[in-house]
Each structure stands twice: as C-alpha cells, then as structure tokens.
Amino acid sequence: MNEPRPVIVAGNWKMNSSPGDAGRLAAEIARVTELPGVTRVLCPPYVCLPAVKDALAGSSVAVGAQNVHGEQAGAYTGEVSAAMLTGLATWCIVGHSERRRDQGETDEDVARKLVRCAEHGLRPIMCVGEQLAERQSGRAEATVRRQLTQTIAELLRLGSGLAADLVIAYEPVWAIGTGLTARGSDAAAMAQLIRSVLADSGVAGIDPAGVPVLYGGSVTSAAIAEFLAEAEIDGALVGGASLKVDEMAGIVARAGMTAAARLGTR
C-alpha cells in the first residue's frame, strides 16, 4: 500500500502583521495547533520572517516565504532572491493568484521560481486556478491544465524538472474574497486533473499520485470540513483566516481528523 499523502495547513498572511506583532501571533498559533499528523507552515511578509522564525524555534511549525524572484541576483529593486531566504524559511509560495493578477506573473516566471526554490532547499507550494469568467465559460480545467503544462515545458527547457517535494494549491480565484463559494467536489475533481496532468507530463523524479494538493479559496474553519472530506484534497492554503488564532485552531483540528483517518488505514 502506498504511503498516505501528508495533510498540510499553510497560512499566507499576505501584506498583514508587522515585526512587532508577528512573533507573538505565530507563537500563539503554534501553541493551539499542536496536533500529530498535520504539517503546519506560516508564511508572513518578508520583514516578519526573522521574528516568526525566532518565535517558532523549538516548535514543529515551519516558516515559508510568500514569493521569491526567478533570478539568482541582480538589478531587481524590491525583490528577494532564494539565497536571501536561506536560514529564514524552508517553504515558499510560488505563482499565487494575486501575483499572477497584480504583477503579471506568467507560467514561465513560475517555472524559474521553482528552479530557484530547488537550488536553495525551499519546498514550493505552487498555486494554480481559474478566474470567474473561465469557470463560467467551462474553461476551468483547460486553464489549470495550461498553467501546469506551460510551467513544466519551461522547466524542461531550463534543464530542470518538478521537485519531488512539490505541493500544489488549487485556488479557484473567483471564490477568494468574493462571497462566492466553491464545492468540495469541484476541488476534488480539479485535484484529480492536476495529478493526471503531472502523470501525462512524463517528468521524472516525481510521483504524481503522491503530490499533495491543497485547497485555497477563502478557507475558514466553518467551510474546511467539506474540502477535507474529499480524499483527493490534502489540506489548505489559508488566507485571512490564518491571522486569527481561533480560526487556525479550528482548521488544523479538522485537518488532524483527516490525518488520523489516513494514518489509521495504513
């Protein structure tokens, strides 16, 4: 029997918190979410990484960055390279929908960032997902397929491949901060598609069936159960709720039930 996929809850604090309060928040979240079987990651703003790293020392909560530049170094004002994150983070979000939308990041940009993550030991959470118009016009699956295939094509062109520790977050962009909601069955179907595309790509070094797929569409403690009830979904990339201690406690508690059930089938 194959090993069960890990259950992962990653909190993306986006452009919130400050060095003065980030450490306290991280420590409190770590305290109330200590459950076996759940991998926890907190991704604060760059300026808060040292404070969060220090606050989480001795805990089992990992630290992630929200982004990384696709080049090693150079004249890129305001950007942060993977090398600069060494010792501060062990995970990194790549290709988040807000960066695709606001900074115009392309699938090729995402590929270069994945290469940098691999070079510097950062475990990537690669985000994919469709806009509302794409969902309404029946192009949701085609959009996610394109994002994956074009990223993989660029990786191969660069002489690289997919990292064996890759995590993918499916973000239905239309369900983020809009009041609209996705269904667990929709997310599960997209997770199946994601793994199918990975399998069809023929990229060596990665087990498509073992790639964790997270749900990332306005995750809350009230809504997470529907998604974690789906066997294809392995956790969540949490936005605004990850800034609230009680919300994170509820989300991780439900994730712990999923983890326990998976480990119980081994």
Task: Return the CATH number at 186.
Answer: 3.20.20.70
The pLDDT value given to residue 205: 85
50 vs 26, 32, 100, 177, CA distance in Å?
12, 21, 26, 29
CA 236 to centroid of chain Cα atoms: 7
Domains held by the chain: number:
1
- List the domain range (segments joined by +) for residue 144: 7-264
Closest CA to 212 of 160, 150, 156, 255: 255
The pLDDT value given to residue 217: 87
115 vs 96, 108, 126, CA distance in Å?
16, 11, 12
| Domain contains 1 | no
| Catalytic residue positions, numbered | 96, 171
| Domain contains 2 | no
- 3-class secondary structure, 43: strand
Tokens of 208: 């498509």
The pLDDT value given to residue 266: 44
| Domain contains 17 | yes
Closest CA to 244 of 220, 214, 218: 220
The pLDDT value given to residue 19: 97
| Domain contains 260 | yes
The pLDDT value given to residue 240: 95
Tokens of 190: 């997209």
| Domain contains 147 | yes
| Domain contains 57 | yes
The pLDDT value given to residue 42: 99
The pLDDT value given to residue 177: 77
| Domain contains 223 | yes
| Domain contains 77 | yes
Question: Which parts of the chain sit beneath pLDDT 50?
Answer: 1, 265-266
